[in-house]
Amino acid sequence: EPEVTQTPSHQVTQMGQEVILRCVPISNHLYFYWYRQILGQKVEFLVSFYNNEISEKSEIFDDQFSVERPDGSNFTLKIRSTKLEDSAMYFCASSGRGRVGTGELFFGEGSRLTVL
Amino acid sequence: AQSVTQPDIHITVSEGASLELRCNYSYGATPYLFWYVQSPGQGLQLLLKYFSGDTLVQGIKGFEAEFKRSQSSFNLRKPSVHWSDAAEYFCAVANSGGYNKLIFGAGTRLAVHP
């Protein structure tokens, strides 16, 4: 069964460092997403991406965050200068279609980021 | 603004017992509703979804959910729980215009006693 894979599964970093979280979406999917879950809190939408540009982003997704699809298979989330409050589980997801109701979201297992 | 409330943070049931996980949503128009499950070390897996039509929807693993517009609820049910159902369950809502932008509830952690 096709699946979304994420690396690393856990990363520990110092405050102020740059972090790149990587995702390999399902191969024929065209829409990509990042969500995050701070420990004990809700899963929150960060950003959606289609056709090499951001479709929608939340208030959380400020200038410290960026996303990229550097090649045909990877989808990355970069945090330029990490803060303590960026500590969370980050989920990548992909779907074959964009509008909700037309396509199911497939989530990866998550990348846990710990900022010290 | 859209929101989802899952009133129960933790639920414990005995294996073989029935289960109902509560979900209430706040959304002005007809919502798109989802239940996801997250087993330890796993990603979020879609159990079922409601877009329109029959208000009782069937999902995978023997789960079902019923959409009740009058109560703004979308409760998840299973008639007989298995030990492997122990996991965290998330209810989510989306609007028809969003590019799969889901609003999640806080989750309900289910423990199953043998």
Q: What is the domain-level CATH number for residue A13?
A: 2.60.40.10
Percentage of chain B lying above the pLDDT 90 cut = 70
Query: Is a pLDDT exceeding 60 seen at residue B42?
Result: yes
Q: B54-112: per-residue pLDDT in tens?
A: 899 999 999 999 999 999 999 999 999 999 999 999 999 986 565 578 889 999 999 99
Q: Do A100 and B95 touch (CB under 8 A)?
A: yes
Predicted confidence at residue A35, as pLDDT, reads 96
CB distance from B97 to chain A under 8 Å?
A: yes
Other C-beta atoms closer than 10 Å to the C-beta of B3 total 13
Predicted confidence at residue A101, as pLDDT, reads 58
Give B104's Cβ-side CA count (13 Å radius).
Answer: 24
List the CATH code of the domain at B3-113.
2.60.40.10
Of all residues in chain A, the one with the smallest CA distance to B102 is: A45
The contacts of residue B27 (CB under 8 Å, 6+ apart) are B2, B72, B93, B95
DSSP code at position B30: P
Scanning A17-91, the segments in alpha helix (DSSP H) are: none
With cut-offs at 50, 70 and 90, classify the pLDDT of residue A98. low
Contacts of A39 in chain B (CB under 8 A): none
Annotated domain spans of chain B: 3-113
Total count of domains within chain A: 1
Q: Whole-number mean pLDDT of chain B?
A: 91
Report helix, strand or coil for A86.
helix
Residue A15, domain extent? 5-97+105-115
Predicted confidence at residue A76, as pLDDT, reads 97
Predicted confidence at residue A100, as pLDDT, reads 61
Distance CA(A8)–CA(A38), nearest Å, equals 17
* A85 or B44: which leads in pLDDT: A85
Burial of A22 (0-12, 13-18, 19+ CB in 10 A): middle
Chain B interface mutation, best of A37, A42, A44, A47, highest count of B Cβ atoms under 10 Å: A42
CB distance from A105 to chain B under 8 Å?
A: yes
What's the whole-number mean pLDDT along residues B6-23? 97
Distance CA(A114)–CA(A116), nearest Å, equals 6
With cut-offs at 50, 70 and 90, classify the pLDDT of residue A70. confident
